[in-house]
Each structure stands twice: as structure tokens, then as C-alpha cells.
Amino acid sequence: MKLEEAIENLYQVFSKYTTSDMYYCDCGCIDENDVKKLASKKLRELGEDDFSSYHGSALYTWGDIEHYKHFLPRILEVHNEKNGKGLIGLFEIISKLEYAEWEKWESNEIKAIKDFIFADWNSFINKQNSEIGTDDIQYYSFFFKPENLFGIWDLTKNGNSFKNFVKFFYYNGTEIINKGLKIKDKIYDKEFLNLLNQSELLDKLEIEFFKADEVDKDYAEKISIVTQMIEQEKTVGNNVYKK
């Protein structure tokens, strides 16, 4: 499902939920101005600043699950717009979903969330200047197996996707090669290393290096180091490369 379709589907699936009878703690722990902000605009017009305070208190001292479901489509949409750089990250969203026992929700609601998250991951790896870290992969792996996430990280077609991979591997490749990628007490190595086996990856790195060397020396240096790391890994003869 394309991102735009996944977002519209979220709004449709959760449209039955409202802010009716929405309460909040009146002991002073919640700022009245934040309450006004949350009610100041239509759902699709709310910005992160309008609901960031609410999100921190949601389900605990501000509203219940039905109210959170009302705001969830906009929260997820803004998360995507911020491209991993917002105040409310996927970790915070996952914490709320777990607290709300989201896996017990209606099946179409669960599916709508998963469809969005998968489209959001695809958007994340293909957007310009995405800062992808191992923690991001861990968060997305809360919803999907790592091999499914890596399976759509195409390094042969999209320029942004390729550049994001170079930077990710430059900062995290050595640790992943040596120790694997730890997610929920399980070590994943081949699932990630299969990325390095994509067709003509080394040739593409070489071409990308010569292009970058003329305009972006820092990026070119990263490409050079990543190329050496991958060549060394292949020389070692990791089983993932054995035919």
C-alpha cells in the first residue's frame, strides 16, 4: 500500500472514534493551555506542538483508549512528516500502543496500523537525508521481521535510498558485521548482510564514488570506506555469499 493510501485508510478506519467525554486530570499536572491547543483545530490540522503534551499523558491522566484512537491517525501522519526527527518518535508511539494492548484491537485497526508502518518505513529509507540508526530498525521490527524491512531496501534504483544506506553502513556496519543486529534478545546477521549481496552493489558504489568525489568529498570518503568494508566482508567468505 502506498503511503498516501495507508494514511487515508488510517483516518477511515479510526473515524468512528471521537473526543466525546474526554477527561483529563485537574490536579494541575496538565496545563490548561495544552488542553486548549488540542481542541483548537480540526484533527488533520493539528501540529506536533498541539498534541505533544497530550501524547505524553494520553491513557494515563488524559483520555482513554477511544480518545487515543481518535488522534492516532494524525499522530502517525505527523511522525512520517517529521521523518524521524520529531518530538514524538516511534518508540513513544510503540509504548502507547503496548500500554493500550493494541494487538487486542479490532483486526482492521491492527492491519491499518501495520500497513501504515510498512509504508512509513519505505518512505523513511527513500527520503532525502534520512538519519537511519540501528534503534530505528529495532523500532520498526516491533511490527515486522527485519528480513521484511531489509527486503524492500532497494539499493539499485533510488538515489536517496542508496545514500541513506551508505551513511547507515558507514556508522553501523562494523558493529553489525562483528556482532550482528540485536533485536529483542535475538541476533540478526544474515538478514542484514543479504543487503550487501544485492546485484552489482560494488559497481554502483564505485560509480557513486566518482560522482560524489567532484561535489561532496565527505560523502565520497564515506563511500570509499563502506566499499572497503564490504569488500573485506566478502573476502572473509561469510556464508551469506556462498552459492
Counting other chains too, the contacts that 199-205 makes at CB distance below 8 Å and 24 or more residues apart are 199/156, 200/156, 201/155, 201/156, 201/230, 202/227, 202/230, 202/231, 204/155, 204/156, 204/162, 205/166, 205/230
pLDDT along the chain (243 residues), means of 10: 97 97 92 95 97 96 97 98 94 97 98 98 95 95 93 86 95 89 81 79 92 93 95 68 39
C-alpha cell at 217: 568529498
The span from the CA of 163 to the CA of 169, in Å, is: 10
* Gap between the Cα atoms of 15 and 92, Å rounded: 22
- Structure pTM? 0.91
Enumerate residues 6+ apart whose C-beta is below 8 A from 166.
Answer: 205, 208, 219, 222, 223, 226
136 neighbors 84 (Cβ within 8 angstroms): yes
65-82 vs 90-99: helix axis angle to the nearest 10?
A: 160
Domain ranges of the chain: 1-127, 132-243
Rounded to 5 degrees, φ, ψ at 18 are -130, -175
pLDDT at residue 28 in the model: 86
In sequence order, what are the beta bridge partners of 187? 182
